[in-house]
């Protein structure tokens, strides 16, 4: 309408900017999706002229939109299947699913689901299970056979690094008597147990994995993922390496869905070059082509490589003394020479590489490879990032600082698996320094923290709570010396997470010239008791100056 101001001033009880020059304010002025400035309302009006004052959040606290730098759109797709995890978990419909806290409740739920599926040939697929919560008792085919000897059953573990299938699946695929694929453990009788560890083995369950991947990479999965991000205050989320982007159809789908009117988040889809055919050089060219297609809500141009598995699944690669109980070491998901070829190819093209490294042996390999890449091709601002970085040692953090490597630390593990790491996987001393945010800060490494959704629920307030308090599910404090302040945790989910994504010039703080992306909270995270951080209500988000809605995306 003619004469209406094109500037909006959002007023709040407090605006936390994460800009050290102007750390707090009472209002923020926005025009055309960008921040003009922060301050008092009257000063902003006198500086910028006529403005519409929006008091929607006048009693709330505005912070920079949270940046989840390690998540997966699987979080939106996995809810197409039934949840059977240990912890109660809220779904995208707002309803809480009860956890399965023993084998009996798991089997009972599977039997009910089996009864409810009319087609006897349709596979029963569920997700979220983790045997580590059951005193190391492994879920095997014979447990699932008790549910059905004929219907194919597939249980996806919480880490997404393992599945367990019943005998019907193994017989259908021809490996009930044995397989040469790594990651197919046998029982005392010499036959496969039914547990399939890591993607090469998991792919033996062809029909189930095809259905999983189709559902979890659908248009609806992307929409639901963005809507779930909005509800927890995330304005920028990553899809970290679930796709190889081999075809234009795949990238076009991402661009189309994220370009829909009212889409409530920005998504940064990483390429997994191993998920599509082609040489490292060909994958570099494809990524650069993708980057030229970037939009405000879909940002290509980053890569993720995966070196090892998961610690709780005993497939991560650990340096001595290794796992407790003389368990064998984990699995290399990329051979060292193959990893070097990919990292060097992308490094030479000035493409930032994020590498999945749960175990400290995997961290060593990453750092050796980055060191060699820098010797061959100098690049001061590479921002290569160690993803998860769970067992990274102080010596490794010192080396990361020298090499300019960032860390994205899986702080949620402290709550969800801290007790198990202390008692089952690595012992109390190493568990106390897992996900060592305080050490990373002390040694000068820039770090973020993450949920790895759908492995743990999406939500930066909970992730901050874990890093600040380091409280396990049993209520123990694990490694109190590795606790960090609320201020450091807030940096890790705003400006430092944006830095790792090479987006800190656009998002991550509330300052003039940046995108007007905000999370709105009912309470001030700097004022509440730190143990209450995860209980703060998210009132809403603002994306590019627009108050977002989940309408049409759930």
Measured CA to CA, the distance from residue 254 to residue 269 in angstroms comes to: 9
Where residue 411 falls among pLDDT bands split at 50, 70, 90?
Answer: very high
Mean pLDDT of 513-525: 98
Q: Which residue has the tokens 């006529």?
A: 50
Measured CA to CA, the distance from residue 53 to residue 41 in angstroms comes to: 8
Mean pLDDT of 118-142: 92
What 3-state DSSP class applies to 323?
A: coil
Task: Dig out the tokens for 298 from the structure.
Answer: 């879909």
Task: Describe the crossing of helices 219-231 and 248-258 by its angle, rounded to 10 degrees.
Answer: 40
Residue 511 has pLDDT above 90, yes or no: yes
4 vs 122, residue with greater confidence = 122
Mean pLDDT of 325-353: 97
Predicted pLDDT at 131: 87
User: Is 360 within 8 Å of 399 (Cβ atoms)?
Assistant: no
Predicted pLDDT at 94: 84
Predicted pLDDT at 3: 55
Measured CA to CA, the distance from residue 5 to residue 49 in angstroms comes to: 9
The reported pTM is 0.93
Residue 348 has pLDDT above 70, yes or no: yes
Mean pLDDT of 46-57: 95
What 3-state DSSP class applies to 513?
A: coil
Where residue 335 falls among pLDDT bands split at 50, 70, 90?
Answer: very high
User: Is 356 within 8 Å of 317 (Cβ atoms)?
Assistant: no
Cis-peptide, bond into residue 542, ω within 30° of zero: no
Count Cβ atoms below 10 Å from residue 237 Cβ, excluding itself.
Answer: 31
Helices (H), 206-335: 206-216, 219-231, 248-258, 280-291
Residue 59 has pLDDT above 70, yes or no: yes
**pLDDT per residue as tens digits for the range 457-481:** 999 999 999 999 999 999 999 999 9
Measured CA to CA, the distance from residue 356 to residue 238 in angstroms comes to: 14
H/E element, 491: helix 486-492
In the predicted model, what is the mean pLDDT of the chain?
95
Measured CA to CA, the distance from residue 528 to residue 63 in angstroms comes to: 15
Where residue 554 falls among pLDDT bands split at 50, 70, 90?
Answer: very low
Where residue 550 falls among pLDDT bands split at 50, 70, 90?
Answer: low
What 3-state DSSP class applies to 237?
A: strand
Predicted pLDDT at 1: 43
**pLDDT per residue as tens digits for the range 274-304:** 999 999 999 999 999 999 999 999 999 999 9
Measured CA to CA, the distance from residue 458 to residue 68 in angstroms comes to: 8
Predicted pLDDT at 135: 76
Predicted pLDDT at 463: 98
Count Cβ atoms below 10 Å from residue 102 Cβ, excluding itself.
Answer: 13
Torsion angle defined by CA atoms of residues 238, 243, 245 and 251, in that order, rounded to the nearest 10 degrees: -50
Task: Dig out the tokens for 349 from the structure.
Answer: 């093209």
Residue 117 has pLDDT above 90, yes or no: yes
**pLDDT per residue as tens digits for the range 175-232:** 999 999 999 999 999 999 999 999 999 999 999 999 998 888 899 999 999 999 999 9
């Amino acid at each position: 309408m003619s004469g209406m101001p094109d500037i909006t001033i959002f007023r709040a009880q407090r605006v936390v900017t994460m800009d050290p020059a102007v750390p707090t304010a009472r209002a923020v002025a926005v025009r055309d999706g960008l921040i003009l400035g922060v301050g008092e309302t009257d000063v902003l009006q006198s500086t910028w002229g006529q403005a519409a004052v929006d008091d929607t959040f006048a009693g709330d606290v505005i912070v920079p939109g949270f940046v989840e730098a390690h998540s997966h759109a699987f979080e939106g797709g996995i809810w197409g299947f039934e949840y059977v995890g240990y912890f109660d978990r809220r779904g995208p419909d707002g309803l809480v699913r009860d956890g399965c806290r023993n084998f009996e409740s798991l089997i009972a739920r599977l039997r009910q689901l089996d009864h409810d599926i009319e087609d006897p040939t349709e596979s029963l697929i569920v997700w979220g299970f983790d045997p580590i919560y059951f005193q190391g008792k492994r879920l095997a085919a014979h447990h699932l056979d008790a549910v059905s000897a004929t219907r194919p059953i597939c249980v996806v573990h919480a880490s997404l690094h393992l599945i367990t299938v019943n005998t019907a699946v193994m017989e259908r695929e021809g490996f009930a008597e044995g397989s040469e694929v790594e990651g197919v453990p046998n029982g005392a009788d010499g036959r496969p147990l039914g547990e399939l560890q890591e993607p090469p083995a998991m792919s033996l369950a062809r029909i189930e994995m095809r259905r999983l991947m189709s559902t979890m990479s659908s248009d609806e999965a992307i929409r639901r993922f963005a809507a779930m991000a909005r509800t927890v205050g995330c304005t920028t989320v990553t899809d970290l390496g679930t796709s190889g982007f081999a075809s234009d159809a795949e990238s076009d789908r991402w661009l189309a869905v994220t370009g829909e009117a009212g889409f409530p988040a920005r998504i940064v889809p990483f390429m997994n070059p191993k998920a599509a055919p082609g040489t490292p050089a060909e994958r570099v060219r494809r990524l650069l082509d993708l980057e030229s297609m970037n939009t405000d809500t879909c940002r290509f141009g980053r890569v993720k490589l995966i070196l090892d598995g998961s610690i709780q699944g005993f497939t991560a690669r650990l340096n001595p003394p290794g796992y407790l109980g003389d368990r064998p070491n984990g699995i290399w998901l990329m051979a060292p020479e193959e990893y070097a070829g990919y990292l060097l190819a992308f490094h030479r093209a000035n493409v930032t590489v994020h590498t999945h490294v749960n175990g400290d042996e995997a961290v060593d390999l990453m750092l050796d490879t980055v060191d060699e890449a820098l010797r061959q091709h100098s690049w001061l601002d590479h921002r290569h990032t160690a993803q998860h970085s769970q067992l990274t040692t102080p010596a490794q953090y010192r080396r990361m600082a020298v090499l300019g490597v960032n860390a994205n630390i899986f702080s949620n593990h402290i709550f969800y698996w801290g007790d198990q790491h202390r008692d089952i996987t690595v012992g109390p001393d190493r568990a106390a320094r897992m996900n060592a945010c305080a050490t990373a800060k002390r040694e000068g490494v820039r770090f973020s923290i993450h949920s790895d959704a759908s492995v743990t629920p999406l939500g930066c307030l909970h992730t901050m709570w874990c890093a600040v308090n380091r409280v396990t599910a049993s209520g123990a404090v694990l490694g109190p010396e590795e606790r960090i302040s609320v201020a450091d945790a807030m940096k890790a989910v705003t400006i430092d997470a944006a830095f790792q994504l090479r987006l800190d010039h656009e998002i991550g703080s509330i300052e003039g010239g940046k995108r007007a992306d905000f999370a709105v909270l009912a309470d001030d995270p700097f004022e509440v008791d730190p143990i209450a951080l995860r209980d703060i209500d998210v009132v809403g988000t603002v994306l590019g100056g627009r108050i977002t809605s989940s309408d049409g995306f759930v």
